[in-house]
Amino acid sequence: MILVKLNLSSLNDDQLKVVTAEKGKHLVLAGAGTGKTRTLTYRTAYLIEKGMSPENMLLLTFTNKAARNMMFQASSLISGNRGRINGGTFHSIANRYLRTHGKLIGLDNNFSIIDSEDQRDLVKATVAETLGKLDHYFPTPRVLIEMFSNSINKNQDLEDVVVQNSPQSFEYMKEIFDVYAAYTKRKWNANCLDYDDLLICWHRLLADFSEESKELFFHEDILVDEFQDTNKIQGEIVDLLANVNGGKLTVVGDDCQSIFAFRGAVYENILEFKDRHEDVKIHYLKRNYRSTSQVLNLANDIIKNNKKQFYKELVPASKSVGPRPRIMPLPNVNAEATWVAKKIAERFQDGFRLSEMAVLYRNHSHSAFLQAELVKRNIPYQIRSGVRFLEQAHIKDVVAHLKILINSKDEIAWTRVIGMCPGIGAVRSRKLIKEILKSKNIADLGQDFGKDLLPEKAYRNWVIFFNEILSLSSLNHQEHSTAKDLIVKIMESSYSDYLQVKYKNASNREDDINQLAQLSDSYKSLKSFISDFVLLGEMFGSDVVAGTDKGERLILSTIHQSKGLEWDMIWIIRACDSSFCGPRTVSNDDIEEERRVFYVAVTRAKRFLTFTYPIIANEWGGANTKFQGSDMNKPCRFLLEGNDSLDKPFRSSFIY
């Protein structure tokens, strides 16, 4: 057959071997920037040109966008109209097959798929029906859903998930089990599936009906993208599909870019692939089309320290030369933000486009100071790592506490604060606020305030809650108290418990509040901080500063959100050891995962790469612990592993 559009001469030797490989089991280890998507697209087109029916293939991806792009590109490479390629995300393919064959497991084909909002409503109704009225500290529907999903995607017992992620909720373990059982039954009776159910049911079809599967789920070839990101159940689905079609399977991924363990990705899926399947042919893609040799030297020096991996040394496809990666220690987080913002402005003045620059960081909270500095300098930016810092609900919670200290008649702030008190609903809240607004200041209300307005049980909760407000007000009137002192005091109150049960990812939110405390430290008074906070919040709410080309925006992103992207010029901030190998990084596997995260950050850069970190650290120990003050940061240990590839290597030794 003549390959009309498929120009195989455009592929390098390693890519060509993958594209033209005989049918069988193939593990393609594609390093960063080595043309993974192009190779998989060409293999798809090649198989079709060789006579395979597009409908009899199966292409599995992680996003709908990736699936559409890959299928469109593959279709554009083949001659004539060969039909639609059978491909999509794991969830979309599961939905398709369950519509057709779900009756085998008792599922009607007209089932509904419930989205995250529907899930919250259903869990909320299930809690009310199963348990009735609960105390204020029972996990919210959002937190419960995260527990259930983690249990499924990480293949962990629900109890272990609660102990690991929400230990403060362990006292409700029986009630959580009851809700989970009732929620599962309720979905099934309503003929509804959530996203996790789609995978569970597809897996059940393949595992329980293996003989039927040979006819129902046979594919001439199966191709899987980003295999390193598969979770336990997705990995087993791929294995079961391969058993159905006799092992005609190509999985593509990079073990060195496996960085999503926190959401259930199982590193062993790719690492042990050759152990689970016989006669696997392993292919390496090592020629990098993105970065200069200077950037790649650093990346290679770092990742070679991982013990569990398929090591592959990336080599540059181009002979273009760039500067060595640079590291810049700065006195503190304020100086770091100022220096980075200044350099970005200078590079922009030199003719570099903002859209070709990015600032990456390990945690979203690390961007707080930089966001404030960018706003002050009128530098437009786009956030890829979540909600803008000052718009986050938990930040607004803390600020509401601070607002009532300087304006006791702030009805909006009071409404938010009182809403955090157990047993106080909207009606009782309005009664309390009506009386509060009659007083000149909080202290005048007295410790018995609310006794005549609330029933006995609600009042017992209110006494504890309001005494914390009075204590906060008392601290605010002390001569040398600061906004930081008040924020730390809030985190030592019952708000810390509220944070744990109200929001998922509570530990990350604690980090955000820590950053808020540090951000406030440069202000002489609480009033000036709150005034600036509101003004900054208004400016933070606009993605693009007026008068700027809409496409010209600096990118701010967590490293995880940056995966698959690239920029000409990158700053990696907070490149200190506490950011990557903090107290939650305890095992060798944890450290190797963080090393992969660091490697992903480095390999986003095309030419210019700069690391910064604050020498002085201001951190607290977390919930219910007192502020620990200043400490000295060490540069990230992974930078020292690549010391010889840096512009100015470290001359002093650090102990980790």
Query: What is the domain partition of the chain in residue ranges?
Result: 13-102+199-285, 113-190, 304-380+552-639, 391-536
Q: Both ends of the chain: CA-CA distance in Å?
A: 61
Burial class (CB in 10 A: 0-12, 13-18, 19+), 540: buried
Token pair belonging to 522: 């440069």
What's the rounded Cα separation, in Å, for the pair 334 and 329? 12
What's the rounded Cα separation, in Å, for the pair 307 and 312? 13
Residue range 13-102+199-285, CATH number: 3.40.50.300
Give 10-residue mean pLDDT values along the chain (656 residues).
65 95 94 94 89 88 80 74 77 90 88 84 89 82 92 90 88 94 90 91 89 79 94 94 87 95 91 93 97 97 96 92 94 94 96 96 90 91 75 87 87 88 86 87 84 87 89 88 90 88 82 85 81 56 40 90 94 94 84 96 97 80 42 91 87 68
Query: Residue 25 to residues 223, 224, 234, 310, 410: CA-CA distances in angstroms?
Result: 10, 12, 17, 17, 66
Which pLDDT does position 626 carry in this prediction?
41
Token pair belonging to 339: 């220096």
The single residue listed with the structure tokens 């009606």 is 427
Q: What single string gives the DSSP state of each residue in 465-510? A: HHHHHHHHHHHHTSTT--HHHHHHHHHTSTHHHHHHHHSSSHHHHH
Which of 149, 109, 166, 160 is CA-nearest to residue 233? Answer: 149
What's the rounded Cα separation, in Å, for the pair 486 and 478? 11
Q: Which residues pair with 250 in a beta bridge?
A: 26, 223
Which of 87, 31, 26 is CA-nearest to residue 251? Answer: 26
Which pLDDT does position 624 carry in this prediction?
36
Which pLDDT does position 388 carry in this prediction?
67
Q: How is domain 304-380+552-639 classified at the CATH fold level?
A: Rossmann fold (3.40.50)
What's the rounded Cα separation, in Å, for the pair 403 and 419? 15
What lies within 8 Å, CB to CB, of 243 at 6+ separation is: 210
Which of 494, 431, 554 is CA-nearest to residue 137? Answer: 494
Which pLDDT does position 385 carry in this prediction?
64
Q: How is domain 391-536 classified at the CATH fold level?
A: PCRA; domain 4 (1.10.486)
Intrachain domains 13-102+199-285 and 304-380+552-639 with the same fold: yes
Which of 122, 254, 108 is CA-nearest to residue 184? Answer: 122
What's the rounded Cα separation, in Å, for the pair 616 and 613? 9
Containing 98, the helix (H) or strand (E) segment is helix 90-101
Token pair belonging to 204: 């059940």
User: DSSP code of 90?
Assistant: H
